[in-house]
Amino acid sequence: MTEQGMEILAEMTWPPESSGRGRAAVVRDQEGNRFLSLGKTYFFPLEGYEQMEPEACLNAAPLAGMLAGLERAGVEFGAGALLVGQGPLADLWLRLLGWRGCVPVHRVDSLVLEMREQEAAAFLEKVERPIVAVEASGDGTAVETLVRLLRRGDRLLLAGSRESGVTIYAYRDIHKKGISIIGVDSSLAGSPEGPSIIGETLAKALRLMARDQ
């Protein structure tokens, strides 16, 4: 199956500030069937989601990658969460953490300013551990700051899109502290799970998006 001859109802790339590593589109074939196309190579049928707007279906694509990351991290219901980032993808992360049952959830747009770092540190001091931290700003400095603030059992999800240098000492910062760092590629590009697992995750993401319709 290809997009050739199909009508593109909506399309998105992410991160939005660049050409995007991830690309998704809602397409319709000549029989009127709608599909969520990932990278023009994987087509997920949207049967049962006829009432969802194409734009809402599109959000399920990056959401599925985020959801897969949370599942790999083993984030349990009721875990506290710290989110660093701003923009549409960070907004989507905020919604997902709420859907996942993370309580409480605190968001800061950046950790570059000292006052923001102090705000994050104050939240981490009062919340029950272990927690999950999501770095969605793509700022290497934020990664280093979070690694320094996290404690034993905490998990850090690297979901930022920009490429920037990060200095982390494996023994001191990870091994000795007992924290986990998980990479999250919301594009699902080159996913090792295979088409069937991608389809299951997309179905979960679509059900979550349908709640807001």
Strands 132-135 and 81-84: parallel
pLDDT of residue 190: 45
Q: Distance between CA 20 and CA 16 in Å, rounded? A: 6
Q: What is the pLDDT of residues 148-187, one digit of tens each?
A: 999 999 999 998 866 667 888 888 888 988 999 998 877 6
CB 4 within 8 A of CB 30: no
The number of residues making up the chain comes to 213
Q: What is the pLDDT of residues 105-131, one digit of tens each?
A: 999 998 887 888 999 999 999 999 899
Tokens for 26, please give them. Answer: 């809602």
User: What's the burial of 125, exposed, middle or buried (CB within 10 Å: 0-12/13-18/19+)?
Assistant: exposed
Q: What is the pLDDT of residues 36-90, one digit of tens each?
A: 998 777 899 999 998 899 999 999 988 988 998 898 889 889 999 999 999 888 9
CB 48 within 8 A of CB 40: no
- DSSP one-letter code for 75: P
pLDDT at 188 exceeding the cut of 80: no
pLDDT at 209 exceeding the cut of 80: yes
Mean pLDDT of 186-196: 56
CB 201 within 8 A of CB 61: no
- Inter-CA distances, 141 with 40, 106, 122, 134, 177, Å: 35, 19, 18, 14, 19
pLDDT of residue 45: 94
pLDDT at 93 exceeding the cut of 80: yes
CB 54 within 8 A of CB 79: no
